[in-house]
Chain A
Amino acid sequence: MSFIVLLVVLAVLVFWVIGAYNGLINLKNQVVNAWKQIDVQLKRRHDLIPNLVNTVKGAMQFERETLEAVVAARNQAIKVQQTPGAHVGATAEAEAQLTGALSRLLAVVEAYPDLKATGNVAQLQEELTSTENKIAFARQLYNDTATQYNTKQQQFPTMLVAGMAGASRVELWEITDAAERAVPNVDLSFGKS
């Protein structure tokens, strides 16, 4: 009788371990996948910028600095993205620079009504808005999934199998609201995290 009880307890335990292990692995893959999504969208954004710059260049002779800032930020962002093993923080920083430079450029474009009126720019603007949104949403999904993963592997019963599943904390893509909105001084908000 006691043997059967022992067997049942053991079976329950084994099933639980399998479930918890698979749950962690599943989350881990989701995190990796979410990061890939971000990567795809970042690449898209980088590809879109030369197009935008070429289109507005002619009309914006007086805004060379703004344009150059965008190009420089893009090149930096590409460099970081292509560095193997670049961690989340570095990517976040480079991309935030680019976000800042781009939003300044778009603000300037608003000041040129004839430029905005040409169909090409309106299209590019929609593309850019969409790409920015996609990056933001991909980041949101990544952060949500990563938070879930981090929490799960630290919570009590699951933490017992965390080592077996090779789970370790993943870095979140930290961005404070201030950094998103700040137009002139994007850099100041880093280092906080």
Chain B
Amino acid sequence: MAMSQPINFFAQQDANRRRTRWLVVTFILFFAWLGFGGDWILWELTRGAPPNAYRHAFPWMGTVLTVFAALLAAYAWHTGPTKVLWSTGAREIETPAGDAETRLVNVVEEMAIAAGVPKPRVWLIDDADPNAFATGLDAERAHVAVTTGLLTLCTRDELQAVIAHEVGHIKNLDVRLMTFLAALVGAVALIADGLGRTLRSGFRFGAVTGGGKSRGKRDNVGPLVLVLLAVWLLSWLLAPMVTRLLALGVSRKREFLADAMSAQFTRNPLALASALDKIEHAAEPTTSIKRGAAHLCIADPLGRKSSLREGKLADFFGTHPPMALRVARLKAMGYQERKREGQPIQATA
């Protein structure tokens, strides 16, 4: 009532369901290209081979990689929330001990009521830097995690605003897309680090020199194969970055929306503005939250100062919009509220 334009949750939820599906499809297609692309190149190269030499007939690389990507996506989907929480070393608050934890659990319950979602499970991260994130696959299986630093730094109202922001992500189903993405980023990073290292040094080298050798022997290798080879190799090199880039594009606009939802739930945009201010000025990086889960957090846990600057570069590389801009928007909302305050509430309904 007080907020004259309610945010359309359903449209946002639908958009998130759709984007998650697209993400799965893109992810699997990308891996399929990595595999079948290689098969294609090998097939072109070995087409004219003598009968007793190796001929690449069955696309085993593509088959293996596609199945692998599908399994990876399914694994990321099912274990995403647990993996994200595990990677931050969070512990669940089942029976709150002490005033601060009781307050946290109460605030989470309050915001779940305000948003009309089931109460998410509450987790605590032992870290002095204030930060918070939400994860889960849907509102029924959602988690909210905050650092101990947030509890000590924020007043009750500010804590409420931060939790409302996180519950906003849950209600929007942002958590589904972002958790899934975090799990994919994590899985791909792992592969790029471990498996990728051994695979690339042996296999890529072999492919390149093999191609070169056959080109020297015979002149029947068309430009198509060369272009294919270049694009294919580039794809392999970019693979670890692709998921990172996807994560960048996905998270920034959502922060503004979740800020607006926080204001809608608490009817107190200034509380979030002051909480964000405090979080921003406690500048040390949140050490327990790793790169893979960065886009889930309310503020960039890596403490990258790009969030202070505004501009094309910051826009492109930050997982979060500039904090100053978020605070300014919230303050503007707060002043609008105040201006309205003289009027009876019913008039705006």
> Using a CB–CB distance below 8 Å, which chain A residues touch chain B?
30, 33-34, 37, 41, 122-123, 126-127, 129-130, 133-134, 137-138, 140-141, 143-145, 147-148, 172, 174, 176-177, 193
How many angstroms between the C-alpha atoms of A108 and B156 in the bound complex? Answer: 21
19 contacts between A and B (CB under 8 A): A34-B116, A123-B102, A126-B102, A126-B106, A129-B106, A129-B156, A130-B103, A130-B106, A130-B107, A134-B113, A137-B110, A137-B113, A138-B113, A141-B113, A141-B114, A141-B115, A145-B116, A147-B1, A177-B341
Contact A148 B6 (CB under 8 A): yes
Chain A residues, Cβ within 8 Å of B103: 126, 130
Chain B residues, Cβ within 8 Å of A122: 99
Chain B residues, Cβ within 8 Å of A147: 1, 349
- Indicate whether B109 reaches chain A with its CB closer than 8 angstroms: yes
Contact A130 B116 (CB under 8 A): no
Cβ of A27 to closest chain B Cβ, rounded Å = 11
Contact of A144 among B6, B99, B113, B341 (CB under 8 A): B6
Contact B109 A123 (CB under 8 A): no
How many angstroms between the C-alpha atoms of A141 and B110 in the bound complex? Answer: 11
Scan B108-149; emit 1 where CB is below 8 A from any A CB, else 0.
011101111000000000000000000000000000000000
Max chain A CB contacts within 10 Å: which of B1, B99, B114, B267? B114
The 8 closest A-B pairs by CB, nearest first: A137-B114, A130-B106, A137-B113, A133-B110, A141-B116, A138-B113, A134-B110, A134-B113
- Indicate whether B202 reaches chain A with its CB closer than 8 angstroms: no
- Indicate whether B325 reaches chain A with its CB closer than 8 angstroms: no
Max chain A CB contacts within 10 Å: which of B1, B110, B349? B110
Return the chain A residue nearest B156 by Cβ.
A129
Return the chain A residue nearest B266 by Cβ.
A137
Cβ of A20 to closest chain B Cβ, rounded Å = 14
Contact B346 A193 (CB under 8 A): yes
Return the chain A residue nearest B265 by Cβ.
A137
Max chain B CB contacts within 10 Å: which of A41, A137, A148? A137
How many angstroms between the C-alpha atoms of A142 and B160 in the bound complex? Answer: 19
**B contacts with A, residue count (CB < 8 A):** 23
- Indicate whether B328 reaches chain A with its CB closer than 8 angstroms: no
Return the chain B residue nearest A145 by Cβ.
B116
How many angstroms between the C-alpha atoms of A163 and B139 in the bound complex? Answer: 32
- Indicate whether B344 reaches chain A with its CB closer than 8 angstroms: yes
Chain B residues, Cβ within 8 Å of A177: 341, 345
Cβ of A10 to closest chain B Cβ, rounded Å = 26
Interface SS of chain A: helix
Scan B337-349; emit 1 where CB is below 8 A from any A CB, else 0.
0000100111001
Contact B109 A134 (CB under 8 A): yes
Contact of B99 among A126, A133, A143, A174 (CB under 8 A): A126
Chain B residues, Cβ within 8 Å of A123: 99, 102
How many angstroms between the C-alpha atoms of A177 and B113 in the bound complex? Answer: 21
How many angstroms between the C-alpha atoms of A138 and B113 in the bound complex? Answer: 6
How many angstroms between the C-alpha atoms of A176 and B346 in the bound complex? Answer: 8
Contact A176 B345 (CB under 8 A): yes
Cβ of A169 to closest chain B Cβ, rounded Å = 12
Cβ of B111 to closest chain A Cβ, rounded Å = 7
Chain B residues, Cβ within 8 Å of A140: 114, 265, 267
How many angstroms between the C-alpha atoms of A34 and B4 in the bound complex? Answer: 20
Chain B residues, Cβ within 8 Å of A174: 346
- Report if A130-B110 is in contact (Cβ < 8 Å); known contacts: A123-B102, A145-B116: yes
Cβ of A178 to closest chain B Cβ, rounded Å = 9
Contact B102 A30 (CB under 8 A): no
Contact of B1 among A37, A129, A134, A143 (CB under 8 A): A143
Return the chain A residue nearest B267 by Cβ.
A140
Return the chain A residue nearest B102 by Cβ.
A126
How many angstroms between the C-alpha atoms of A144 and B8 in the bound complex? Answer: 12
